[in-house]
């Protein structure tokens, strides 16, 4: 069974394969580290070049892991791993949210979508329930 976290790794790979740049928002250091490790291990047959937003090569790396205080190298696409809207979501051209099958996660996702829509921002949601 695929988890929302694994699916987020697949989305990072898809962005890379499509020549897109992606910022992945992790609200805290623990989640940022977990996602960093996951990108190294989620597929034995592929590699997703990635760095933290503070890294010197962030502007040149297709996938950047950021947090609330990060200086962002671009504003192309944003993937939110947090329960709250990222503080800088409106700067991005494209925003993705992965919605898991967990009832609490789904409720939080609905609240985020209401928040984004109330500000006129369209979000591409990926509902894990449709993948199972």
- Structural domain 4-130, CATH architecture: 3-Layer(aba) Sandwich (3.40)
Taking the domains of the chain in order of start, what are their residue ranges? 4-130
For 10-58, how does the pLDDT look when each residue is reduced to its tens digit (9 = 90+)? Answer: 999 999 999 999 999 999 999 999 999 999 988 888 899 999 999 999 9
Spatial contact of 78 and 86, defined as CB atoms under 8 Å apart: yes
Cβ neighbours around 132 below 10 Å, total:
8
Reduced to 3 states, what is the DSSP secondary structure of residue 25? strand
Confidence (pTM):
0.89
């Amino acid at each position: 069974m695929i988890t929302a976290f694994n699916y987020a790794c697949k989305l990072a790979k898809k962005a890379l394969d499509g020549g897109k740049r992606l910022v992945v928002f992790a609200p805290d250091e623990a989640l940022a580290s977990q996602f960093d490790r996951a990108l190294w291990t989620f597929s034995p047959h592929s590699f997703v070049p990635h760095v933290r937003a503070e890294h010197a090569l962030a502007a040149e790396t297709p996938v950047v892991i950021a947090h609330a205080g990060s200086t962002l190298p671009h504003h192309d696409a944003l993937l939110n791993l947090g329960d709250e809207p990222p503080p800088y979501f409106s700067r991005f051209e494209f925003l993705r949210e992965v919605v898991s099958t967990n009832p609490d996660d789904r409720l939080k996702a609905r609240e985020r979508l209401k928040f984004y829509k109330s500000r006129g921002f369209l979000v591409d949601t990926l509902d894990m329930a449709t993948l199972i």
